[in-house]
């Protein structure tokens, strides 16, 4: 028990030191206006290089990624049914799918699935 605690503390301290060093070493010392501007063959840019980003597109992408990860979690559940207790497997599957359906209902209720806006 003591060795697990010691190892956990060692890992936490080591990771904290690495994160601290990374944050200290990654700071840029000076900001150059020319380096942060877009490069167009030495000429001044004709228009802004930073186009406005659609928040709607970002939210649809996040919803897609969430459902993509859910599919990746559901597929192994089908394969593991032969090796596990059927009652526990069915309860776990029902709870998981119920959480997904509640999330889908919430997204639908918030209007995130309306494509014609």
The pTM of this model reads 0.49
**Predicted pLDDT of residue 18:** 93
User: Low-confidence residues of the chain, pLDDT below 70?
Assistant: 1, 27-51, 115-117
Q: Report d(CA 10, CA 2) in Å as an integer.
A: 12
Q: Hey, what are 30's tokens? A: 């000076």
Domain ranges of the chain: 55-117
**Predicted pLDDT of residue 40:** 57
Q: Alpha carbon of 34 to those of 24, 37, 43, 47: distances in Å?
A: 24, 5, 12, 16
Contact between 77 and 93 under an 8 Å Cβ cutoff? The reply is yes
């Amino acid at each position: 028990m003591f060795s697990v605690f010691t190892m956990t503390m060692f890992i936490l301290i080591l990771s904290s030191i690495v994160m601290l060093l990374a944050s200290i070493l990654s700071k840029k010392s000076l900001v150059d206006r020319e380096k942060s501007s877009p490069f167009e063959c030495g000429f001044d840019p004709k228009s802004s290089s930073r186009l406005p980003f659609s928040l709607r597109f970002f939210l649809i992408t996040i919803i897609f990624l969430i459902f993509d990860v859910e599919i990746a979690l559901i597929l192994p559940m089908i394969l593991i049914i032969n090796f596990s207790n059927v009652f526990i497997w069915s309860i776990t599957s029902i709870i998981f799918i119920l959480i997904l359906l509640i999330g889908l209902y919430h997204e639908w209720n918030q209007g995130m699935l309306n494509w014609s806006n």
